[in-house]
Amino acid sequence: MFSALAFRIFEESIQTYHIKDDVYQEFTNPYPKDKIEHLLYRKNWIDTVQWHYEDIIRDPEINPEDALVLKRKIDSSNQDRTDLVEYIDSYFLDKYKTVEVKPDATINTESPAWAIDRLSILALKIYHMQEEVNRTDASSSHIEKCSQKLAVLLEQKKDLSTAIDQLLTDIEAGNKYMKVYKQMKMYNDDELNPVLRGQKG
């Protein structure tokens, strides 16, 4: 099933990142560029780095100038994340381009890649919640609360994985069809963001 493949790649990315646990470490993709694994690994690496950006920027003692630099990095990361989602959807569009869509086929509320995006974030939540459960310096009540949250996250993983695989099965069978709308983010566009537009000389 595709969800199992994706989650395995996400776990590999997360584990590799945490060997150094440094947002500035060099990125190396172990998968060939023409494979979907390459996109999945890159997608989760972006999510993992951004997860830690978000931790750092919440430091109440952070230098304001450093915070601004980090905010710019988060903005750039968000754009990279969106781009990767669109690349993954392009993979599915190409894969299923010859499928004969049934007359009564329906469209899903989100594309396959945006559901996979949620699975990538969920993999990060599971990893870090497991870290909390494994802590030896935390109180028993903290461990218990985190264990309960981890159980919910694992149930969510099961449900989301099932939904992703069912969606792909339905698309392959022609019971559902997918459309991809290029993300029209306005705040990064100097023609659409009035602040940036005003700065143009």
Which range is least confidently modeled, 28-37, 97-106, 141-150, 185-194?
Answer: 185-194
Cβ of 18: how many Cβ atoms within 10 Å? 14
pLDDT tens string 52-72: 999 898 989 999 898 999 899
CA-derived radius of gyration, the chain = 19
> Do 138 and 152 contact (CB within 8 A), yes or no?
no
The pLDDT tens digits for 142-199 are 999 999 999 999 999 999 999 999 999 999 999 999 988 776 554 455 565 555 556 5
Annotated domain spans of the chain: 2-188
pLDDT of residue 44: 97
* Average pLDDT for 107-125: 96
pLDDT tens, residue by residue, 117-148? 999 999 999 999 999 999 999 999 999 999 99
Residue with tokens 């995006």: 117
Residue pointed to by tokens 């781009």: 83
| pTM for the whole structure | 0.88
Question: In this structure, what is the dihedral angle of CA atoms 148, 155, 121, 184, given to the nearest 10 degrees?
Answer: -130
